Amino acid sequence: MDGMNELGRRAKEAARAYGGTGEAQKNRILAAIADGLEAGWEAIVEENRQDVAAAREAGIRPSMIDRLSLSRERIYQIAQATREVAALPDPVGKVDFGVTRPNGLRIRRVRVPLGAIGIIYEARPNVTVDAAALCLKSGNVCLLRGGKEAIRSNKALVQVMRRALEQEGACPDAVQLVEDTSRQSAKEMMALNRYLDVLIPRGGPGLIRTVVENSSVPVIQTGVGNCHIYVDSPCDLEMAVRIVDNAKTSRPSVCNAAETLLVHRDVAGEFLPMAARALQKSHTQLRGCPRTMEILKEAAIPATEEDYATEFEDYILAIRVVDSLDEALEHIARYSTGHSEAIVTDSYPNSRRFLEEVDAAAVYVNASTRFTDGGEFGFGAEIGISTQKLHTRGPMGLPELTTVKYQIEGSGQIR
Amino acid sequence: MDGMNELGRRAKEAARAYGGTGEAQKNRILAAIADGLEAGWEAIVEENRQDVAAAREAGIRPSMIDRLSLSRERIYQIAQATREVAALPDPVGKVDFGVTRPNGLRIRRVRVPLGAIGIIYEARPNVTVDAAALCLKSGNVCLLRGGKEAIRSNKALVQVMRRALEQEGACPDAVQLVEDTSRQSAKEMMALNRYLDVLIPRGGPGLIRTVVENSSVPVIQTGVGNCHIYVDSPCDLEMAVRIVDNAKTSRPSVCNAAETLLVHRDVAGEFLPMAARALQKSHTQLRGCPRTMEILKEAAIPATEEDYATEFEDYILAIRVVDSLDEALEHIARYSTGHSEAIVTDSYPNSRRFLEEVDAAAVYVNASTRFTDGGEFGFGAEIGISTQKLHTRGPMGLPELTTVKYQIEGSGQIR
């Protein structure tokens, strides 16, 4: 705990020093990081090679090995992403409210950095730089704790960033890495409410649940997506097929992919075979309710209750035929994680009810859930998709990494 | 836990039903609550009398008995406050961002209720109605858990509110009371993250710490105020005396009262005796650093390190003489709870540094910290002063009881 407390203490101190850094200097720091990554790519790839070798030996699955792996090209991409973050507008210092009160007090609400942000994530070394860049641009410092599989890569990347900070005259502790990747260290980090202002977990549902349930630092829950597509009657069935196929199969591992398809009974007989044909191309497994099974027969297997509550992150789609929009809304209210929900419909009143009544970060009419993304919304890079209601919901870009401060100027007012 | 789970489940269900209630109906509900309180004041006072008698018997201190007591007049004041909440603008439905993307997607960010809000508070029955009224006006439902000393009063007040909801055709579960006031029930409430969207503790530092450390429901930390006044050199010493006296003694029990006075050494010799004379009228005890003691002698007692970290909520003021603005900023960074901090100065650069560098919800130049309050800021009633950075900082009025939802309308877009 002593080591973790010391990291926390330093983060808080660094936040105080770094918070007032002007935009020009912040951009110079990010440029120096990008340059440093490109100049030092060989050393980083060498460390990464050792991580990958150890992960292979430990029998880590191929998709995770892929996420863990860095190459010259990937490092250049990360450097480019850092330059893109530098080009985004700085949210700090924006005045979003101001008033002169009858007693002459001048009140101004100004956006300021959150302060010290802890990020707990898994074995994706690109997150190390992406998250740090977003924090630095928004005036925040970060304490990073990545997965143990990426520890050598992360050390190399953080070294580059700390060197860039120092080179540009900023406190290197604005970016710190937790080198102890034990479970215990994650627990200790969650108890740093004296030092950290926010903790953001990025990773699978298990990691996120652990952080939400155990952290005394305020948490932003991100990226838990049990997303639904509801195919209403009447609707454009061809469009519905394209949307379902895109939402399920364009990238099944991400949080805005669809997991369950709800279909109105009046179109189910025609629509489900069309959808099944399209989804066959990607070998997507269909798990259906009894009515779905009647229609799809051997093209599907029976769904369990558990399936409707599962974020598969895979080529698997749960299906349920419903009697009405109300039943679809009930199902979504019960199983949704509040990420992204879509209706495909030709009915104006139903589109309106869906938009109003579904309680989620992003609610769609006639479009794929896959658009819930900072880039697709036009915000630039994001640090995650908030699925809780506190602070913000949806893609978290730079403005969402700030809070407010009231500055009040008087001339001796007392109350 | 079963009982608490059932309350949580009902709150979530009620949130779904109540969230879309229009402003006109919400105002009718609040009017019916106000009318019901006035019509039923005798029954409420009768229940309250029993609470007060039991509290007296249990030896509760007089200031707490005062907060617990209701009279016809106080109930009419609470009813009036409810009508004032009804008159505030409804934040729900406000669109704060909108864009049409190059692919034709129309994205709109609209403010929506947080959902189900848990409030844990102490023996102040007025909070029961104040908090519920703010929740209802902003489209939220609430689960209230007040102190055991006020349980009979709270039951009577909640009954009036539930009746008003029913009378106006809304779900009565939009206001629920946790009738089990054991410590265990508070713990159980903190674990309701499946059902509650936010938990707001209102009360002393001990209660707030317990909730922050144990809740898996997202918490807004409110009202922890270890506030400082820094008397700089040069400054208007008469003004400084008025501000310090007001900030300390106008209402010492509240969170925006000052607890520590910092004084620049160049003015300490002249200023401290002036301040001591003014504070003598309220018999405020002064606890000073060694340099303060040299100046004030028997007018003060020596301060301990602990004193600087304490929210006295009483007629006690810690004092420290500092060598510079930097030392004052250091002291504040170390001991501040991030609530309200003030400088009294004639120096423009020092005022600017203080406003920029102090990390708190409200930072003042030449005014009393006592102004940190929703009413004084012109926001109307507030549910608390947030001292954390997530979600919001400072007075939390109706807009702060909402979150956002992205509504996206397409014509078949896929990614």
Burial class (CB in 10 A: 0-12, 13-18, 19+), B101: middle
Would the CB atoms of B368 and A114 count as touching at under 8 Å?
A: no
For chains A and B, CB pairs below 8 A equal 209
Nearest CA in chain A to B332: A16
Would the CB atoms of A408 and B362 count as touching at under 8 Å?
A: yes
How far A78 CA sits from the closest chain B CA (Å)? 22
How far B175 CA sits from the closest chain A CA (Å)? 20
pLDDT value, residue A223: 82
Distance (Å, whole) CA A349 – CA A347: 6
pTM value? 0.94
Would the CB atoms of B409 and A250 count as touching at under 8 Å?
A: no
In the numeric block, which tokens belong to residue B30? 């609040």
* B245 vs A contacts (CB less than 8 Å): 414
* A338 vs B contacts (CB less than 8 Å): none
pLDDT value, residue B387: 94
Q: Which of B371, B372, B387 to probe the A interface (max A CBs under 10 A)?
A: B371
Nearest CA in chain B to A219: B218
Would the CB atoms of A408 and B363 count as touching at under 8 Å?
A: yes
pLDDT value, residue A204: 83
Nearest CA in chain B to A395: B406
* A193 vs B contacts (CB less than 8 Å): 212-213
CA–CA–CA angle B11, B6, B160 (5° rounding): 55
Bridge partners (DSSP) of residue A302 are A288
The verdict on whether omega for the bond into residue B252 sits within 30 degrees of 0, i.e. cis, is no
Helix axes A41-57, A72-87, angle to 10 degrees: 120
Residues of chain B with confidence (pLDDT) below 50? none
* B346 vs A contacts (CB less than 8 Å): none
How far A168 CA sits from the closest chain B CA (Å)? 21
Residue A96 has pLDDT above 80, yes or no: yes
Would the CB atoms of B376 and A415 count as touching at under 8 Å?
A: yes
Nearest CA in chain A to B336: A194
In the numeric block, which tokens belong to residue B151? 């349980």
* A393 vs B contacts (CB less than 8 Å): 403-406
CA-CA-CA-CA torsion for B55, B56, B61, B65, nearest 10 degrees? 70
Nearest CA in chain B to A243: B414
Would the CB atoms of B378 and A410 count as touching at under 8 Å?
A: no
3-state secondary structure (DSSP) of residue A375: coil
Q: With pLDDT > 90 as the criterion, what percentage of chain A qualifies?
A: 93
Nearest CA in chain B to A197: B389
pLDDT value, residue B384: 92
In the numeric block, which tokens belong to residue B296? 């004030």
pLDDT value, residue B214: 92
pLDDT value, residue A224: 87
pLDDT value, residue B123: 87
Would the CB atoms of A357 and B412 count as touching at under 8 Å?
A: no
Distance (Å, whole) CA A85 – CA A69: 23
Residue A277 has pLDDT above 80, yes or no: yes
pLDDT value, residue A4: 96
- What are the E-state strand segments in B167-267? 175-177, 198-202, 227-231, 258-264
CA-CA-CA-CA torsion for B93, B95, B99, B105, nearest 10 degrees? 0
Would the CB atoms of B193 and A212 count as touching at under 8 Å?
A: yes
Q: Using one digit for the tens of pLDDT, what is the confidence trace for A22-76?
A: 999 999 999 999 999 999 999 999 999 999 999 999 999 888 899 999 999 999 9
How high is the mean pLDDT of chain A? 96
Question: What would the DSSP string read from start to end of A238-260?
Answer: HHHHHHHHHHHHS-TTSTTSEEE
pLDDT value, residue A206: 86
Q: Is A313 left (phi over 0), alpha (psi -120 to 50) or beta?
A: left
Q: Give the distance from CA B363 to its chain's centroid.
A: 17
CA end-to-end distance (rounded Å), chain A: 45
In the numeric block, which tokens belong to residue B323? 């060598």
Would the CB atoms of A394 and B406 count as touching at under 8 Å?
A: yes
* B108 vs A contacts (CB less than 8 Å): none
Residue A1 has pLDDT above 80, yes or no: no
Query: What's the order of all strands across the beta sheet hosting B362-367?
Result: A95-100, A106-113, A402-413, B362-367, B340-344, B227-231, B258-264, B316-322, B285-288, B301-302
Nearest CA in chain B to A378: B101
* A220 vs B contacts (CB less than 8 Å): 390
Distance (Å, whole) CA B356 – CA A139: 13
